[in-house]
A and B are shown apart, each in its own frame.
Chain A
């Protein structure tokens, strides 16, 4: 019995030991990963160059492990004193690695072990398949209508011929029938139809004069709002900050583009396909931006300003084409709607974050404005709770009417939002 006990004890001990060993090993590996993600992953990837070089295979490139410890503790000093460090800086400048003097030697070891053992996760299979392309059925319906009209016409002709035959059989002679193009009923119907058609086009054309719904000009750079505001979730106000402060929403100047595009040189997202089926080369479009900005992506610097005009040589503003145009006799202020009215951009501009190329979504006609002013409720001041826009505290009559339940809410129209001189002056 005691012999078994001994064997069992030994077995358990060795098992525990193995477990312990594998466990502690795991701890180091996990630690390495955690340390790497916390400290290094912002600039380094294990297996690919990023802001800094790929870390995997470090031992084949750098002099010795001691060098790593020194480098991590104080890169600036190493650049000054060490030849390899200087060469490294020359390659990756102007970015200098941040010093991590708080990392201990065993922690650096753990990170190095993690990057050496790193294997990229298996690539996921391609994204969701695109939905079936939407087909426009109006042509099909048009043809069907035409065919049915033709059939009806033929049947009418057959009918009249048959009646003529039947009449002849009975003995009534009707004489030569009038051909259909001289038949007064047909002519009248045709004229009425043309009159209605012409009237429809004339009226809708006249109403449409000056309205540009669906206007979608070709811009100097193929800029996709879907990629920027949709996929990358950049706030509209990042580029169009004027919308909260001023009349205009602002077209961003090139330096705002360069805030990100100093770092983003290539387009690697899903392919962008234009309506005519051609594919947009995103990287080439970014290159166009660099030309406008006077930026040299190879040296990572702006061109020198030799002609002293205050901008890098060769730089010029991008002449974007304005899509949403209001006539001069209408006043519209963005900040009034965005900041005070708290309207979303999408209310008037549509689902911008899903538009590869922007088009005018709303009609921007007077009826469209007025409709919205009639339906939209203002953030009316509530005297009891103190909530809402304090500006409205002066509307004494409305406060009384609300109290007496004569009204339940205040729309923009009620505070004068449909007065002519609000927008026309």
Chain B
């Protein structure tokens, strides 16, 4: 009799252990944590520091962390020069004088620009740039630019770049998602979506390549 009690208690205990382990909110257990967790800092890993700043102007109690920003003034290989106009109304006006540093895009570059456009822009501005992406047509955000309108056909390349870089009205800055070259490519791609410019001031749109976009 005693034996049965022991056995059934054992079975019960095993069952409880395994049922309680089956919690999907917990990450579970691992063996050999020293092999599973990185000794080096991993992306997004929480870090701590035992060094503190001594400079009182830098709030003396702050901890010093490894600064993973590139040194000021450095430019990534293959990246365009920094855009220096400030994010204010004056900078917006001045932006019209900035020219697109890119020449005519090759087919492959334009296809890549179109791919990036469809990822980042088409969700609001629509695949054809008519301001009718899914977010726009469902009425979630209003005031979305229709690039085929006259005012956007006449808008200078630099002003478009300025708006993509800093954001405009409800649109946010896309500087963290698209690097400078990609942003200028985006301007070129938007030009290819527009009807041919009627204004002499506007840059001739890259119409010759238009038919090649899917």
Contacts and interface: CB of A to CB of B under 8 A. Distances in A.
Interface of A: 42-45, 50-52, 94-95, 98-99, 102, 181, 190, 194, 197-198, 201, 205, 208-212, 214-218, 232-235, 237-238, 241, 247-248, 251, 253, 255-256, 258-260, 262-264, 322, 325, 327-329, 359
Given A197-B11, A210-B30, A328-B38, A218 B143 contact: no
Interface string B13-27: 010001001001111
A258 B172 contact: yes
Contacts of A234: 123
Interface in B7-47: 7, 10-11, 14, 18, 21, 24-31, 35-39, 42-44
10 contacts: A50-B142, A51-B143, A198-B14, A251-B44, A264-B140, A322-B44, A327-B30, A327-B36, A328-B38, A328-B42
B171 interface: yes
Nearest to A43: B143
A292 B87 CA distance: 23
B131 interface: yes
Nearest to B30: A210
Nearest to A96: B169
Contacts of B26: 215, 217
A212 B30 CA distance: 10
Nearest to B62: A309
B170 A209 contact: no
Contacts of B18: 201, 205
A252 to B, nearest CB: 9
Contacts of B169: 94-95
Bin chain B's interface residue count.
35 or more
Contacts, number: 127
B30 A209 contact: yes
Interface stretch (B48-56, B94-102, B144-152, B188-196): B144-152
A63 B149 CA distance: 29
A262 B143 contact: no
B118 interface: yes
Contact of B24 (A233, A255, A359): A359
A198 B17 CA distance: 12
A215 B27 contact: yes
Report whether over half of chain B's contact residues are helix, strand or loop; otherwise say mixed. Answer: loop
Nearest to A321: B27
Report whether over half of chain A's contact residues are helix, strand or loop; otherwise say mixed. Answer: loop
A36 to B, nearest CB: 14
B111 interface: no
Given A210-B28, A216-B24, A259-B174, A42 B123 contact: no
B144 to A, nearest CB: 6
A393 B174 CA distance: 37
A45, A194, A232, A328 — most chain B CB neighbours (10 Å): A328
Contacts of A260: 135, 140-141, 172
Contact of A328 (B21, B24, B36, B142): B36
Contacts of A255: 172-173, 176
Contact of A42 (B1, B11, B143, B150): B143
Nearest to B174: A259
Contacts of B163: none
A217 B27 contact: yes
Contacts of A325: 27
Contacts of B28: 208-212, 215
Given A233-B134, A234-B123, A327-B36, A209 B29 contact: yes
Contacts of A247: 43
